[in-house]
């Protein structure tokens, strides 16, 4: 018995490593099969320019290699339709540097781990140069700043270190063919393997725990950052790497700001609180939002808005089926939101529009869009907004992993945000009373789903119906001791 235990303790981790290496290898094979003859050049993320910031590997490089150290590269050369070499370029082991960075895998380590040839990243420029001299076309996976755009964003992206590498190469080798190849990797990333699905489920389970902790802890008088820190403590305490995006705890007026993440306001008794949170587990993101009343009980106005958003989400969930057109989720939830907003008097009718610019013949936008400014959902995976196969196929299929997250956000100034036109003034007069009734109520409900051969599964089972949330908020709380408000407020206003 004991002997069996010992041998399995030794064998199991080795087996798991071999399996996951096989998975990384098969991802490379799939991506390279879509590439013409030439070299796949994939570049990892660079060491942060500022000391002491956490290094996070670029998702597509991690997807292909499973390698988490900075400044690495992968080159796969394909000729006559066959792979002729696969090489990982990594930082060599340098004891003097490792005093600061901790131990590196090094050239030997990477070849043992990945089965590919290892070389020092210091050799990368001359290898790229010799490939370019031989006229080998390059398909590049990296931060090329090729996403278009204008203004400051374009200027910034134009100067990425990865892009500079290829600009220099092209300057030295006229006629060199360099093609961005990120889309091929993203296509592959859109369908999650079983291993990836397991990691997403784990990230989601940890996130659900954090939602429950937060619901039990919330009381008026607490600061948003107390809830944020409890959430992030719960993540890390349960083995998450880190939050998969900036934790959003938005109370009262902050509940209506989509990406509010200052998380620094004292919660008042009549607030709702939007908690949009996600743990990252082995690099995989969860993304789960719950909206709760600070008092522990939804007021009639909060309840009315919440019920519409929940009904919109349920309508989308009914369309979330294997083989279904993914656009149906959006269509059905939009219809429920528009009908509900109209019933509350926040819009004139489900199909009513407003002038969304002030030109001579103003463009018309649906009125419900004044309160619902974002899309219904997105893929989740190595990034919180991850590639998803239905973006390309329009069909939900096994391996899809995505969110459904409708919302309604009644900003106090929503009517003043409309362009100044006679028609908009007339709308504002009609809607003002309802906006005053529901202002500062922002509700988002966001859940995560995975599609397998047996169907689409709701995986983020945190309390979600009104009675479930109210029950979770009545639950006793035995978490860390409450903070000292006098300490928190000592330098407020300075
Ligand atoms: N937390 C970001 C999002 O919901 O998309
Ligand atoms: Mn989301
Ligand atoms: Mn979210």
pLDDT tens figures, 464-494: 999 999 999 997 887 777 777 787 787 777 7
Please give the number of the atom of ligand 1 that sits closest to the Cα of 405: 4
102 falls in which pLDDT band (50, 70, 90)? confident
Residue among 203, 384, 448 to mutate when testing ligand 1 (max atoms within 8 A of CB): 384
What separation in Å is there between the alpha carbon of 184 and the centre of ligand 3? 26
What separation in Å is there between the alpha carbon of 446 and the centre of ligand 3? 6
Atom 4, ligand 1: which residue's CA is nearest? Answer: 287
pTM of the model: 0.92
Residue among 204, 255, 287 to mutate when testing ligand 1 (max atoms within 8 A of CB): 287
Residue among 261, 288, 376, 446 to mutate when testing ligand 1 (max atoms within 8 A of CB): 446
Residues with CB under 6 A from ligand 1: 245, 276, 287, 378, 384, 405, 446
pLDDT of 11: 39
Distance of alpha carbon 244 from alpha carbon 464, whole angstroms: 21
Q: Is the pLDDT of residue 4 over 60?
A: no
What separation in Å is there between the alpha carbon of 378 and the centre of ligand 1? 8
Distance of alpha carbon 305 from alpha carbon 368, whole angstroms: 13
Q: Which residue has the higher pLDDT, 251 or 8?
A: 251
Please give the number of the atom of ligand 1 that sits closest to the Cα of 444: 4
Please give the number of the atom of ligand 1 that sits closest to the Cα of 378: 5
pLDDT of 155: 56
Please give the number of the atom of ligand 1 that sits closest to the Cα of 276: 1
What separation in Å is there between the alpha carbon of 101 and the centre of ligand 3? 33
pLDDT of 157: 57
pLDDT of 150: 57
What separation in Å is there between the alpha carbon of 259 and the centre of ligand 3? 9
2 falls in which pLDDT band (50, 70, 90)? very low
Atom 3, ligand 1: which residue's CA is nearest? Answer: 287
- Enumerate residues with CB within 5 Å of ligand 3 (an ion): 276, 287, 446
Residue among 203, 278, 404 to mutate when testing ligand 1 (max atoms within 8 A of CB): 278
What separation in Å is there between the alpha carbon of 220 and the centre of ligand 2? 26
280 falls in which pLDDT band (50, 70, 90)? very high
pLDDT of 248: 98
What separation in Å is there between the alpha carbon of 403 and the centre of ligand 3? 8
- What would the pLDDT profile of 317-362 be if each residue is shown by its tens digit? 999 999 999 999 999 999 999 999 999 999 999 999 999 999 999 9
- What would the pLDDT profile of 126-146 be if each residue is shown by its tens digit? 999 999 999 999 999 998 875
1 falls in which pLDDT band (50, 70, 90)? very low
pLDDT of 16: 45
What separation in Å is there between the alpha carbon of 52 and the centre of ligand 1? 27
What separation in Å is there between the alpha carbon of 203 and the centre of ligand 3? 13
12 falls in which pLDDT band (50, 70, 90)? very low
Atom 5, ligand 1: which residue's CA is nearest? Answer: 385
């Amino acid at each position: 018995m004991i002997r069996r235990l010992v041998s399995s303790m030794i064998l199991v981790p080795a087996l798991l490593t071999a399996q996951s290496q096989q998975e990384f290898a098969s991802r490379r094979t799939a991506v390279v099969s879509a590439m013409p003859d030439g070299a796949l050049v994939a570049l990892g993320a660079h060491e942060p320019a500022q000391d002491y910031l956490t290094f996070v590997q670029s998702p597509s490089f991690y997807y292909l290699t499973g390698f988490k150290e900075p400044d690495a590269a992968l080159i796969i050369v394909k000729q006559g339709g066959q792979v002729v070499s696969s090489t990982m370029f990594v930082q060599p082991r340098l004891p003097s540097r490792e005093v600061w960075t901790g131990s590196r895998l090094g050239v030997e380590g990477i070849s043992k781990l990945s089965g590919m040839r290892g070389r020092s990243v210091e050799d990368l420029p001359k290898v790229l140069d010799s490939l370019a001299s031989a006229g080998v076309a390059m398909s590049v996976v990296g931060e090329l700043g090729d996403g278009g755009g204008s203004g400051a964003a374009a200027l910034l992206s134009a100067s990425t270190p990865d892009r500079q590498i290829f600009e220099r190469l092209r300057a030295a080798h006229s006629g060199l063919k360099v093609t961005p190849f990120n889309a091929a990797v993203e296509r592959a990333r859109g369908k999650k393997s079983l291993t990836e699905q397991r990691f997403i489920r784990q990230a989601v389970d940890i996130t659900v725990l954090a939602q429950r902790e937060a619901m039990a802890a919330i009381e008026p008088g607490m600061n948003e950052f107390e809830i944020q820190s409890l959430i992030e403590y719960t993540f890390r305490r349960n083995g998450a790497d880190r939050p998969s995006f900036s934790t959003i705890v938005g109370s009262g007026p902050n509940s209506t700001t989509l990406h509010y993440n200052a998380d620094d306001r004292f919660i008042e008794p009549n607030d709702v609180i939007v908690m949009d949170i996600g743990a990252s587990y082995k690099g995989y993101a969860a993304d789960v939002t719950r909206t709760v009343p600070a008092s522990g009980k939804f007021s009639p106005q909060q309840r009315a808005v919440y019920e519409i958003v929940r009904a919109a989400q349920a309508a989308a969930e009914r369309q979330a089926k294997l083989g279904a057109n993914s656009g149906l989720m959006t269509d059905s939830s939009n219809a429920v939101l528009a009908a509900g907003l109209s019933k509350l008097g926040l819009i004139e009718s489900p199909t009513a529009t407003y002038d969304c610019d002030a030109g001579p013949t103003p463009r018309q936008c649906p009125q419900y869009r004044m309160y619902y400014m974002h899309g219904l959902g997105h893929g989740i995976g190595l990034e919180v907004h991850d590639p998803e196969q239905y973006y390309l196929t329009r069909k939900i299929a096994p391996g899809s992993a995505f969110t459904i997250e409708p919302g309604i956000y009644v900003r106090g100034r929503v009517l003043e945000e409309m362009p100044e036109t006679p028609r908009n003034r007339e709308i504002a007069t009609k809607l003002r009373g309802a906006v005053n009734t529901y202002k500062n109520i922002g509700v988002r409900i966001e859940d995560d789903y995975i599609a397998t051969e047996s169907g689409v599964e709701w995986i983020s089972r945190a309390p979600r119906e009104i009675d479930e949330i109210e029950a979770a908020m009545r639950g006793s709380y035995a978490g860390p001791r409450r903070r000292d408000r006098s300490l928190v407020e000592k330098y407020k206003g300075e």
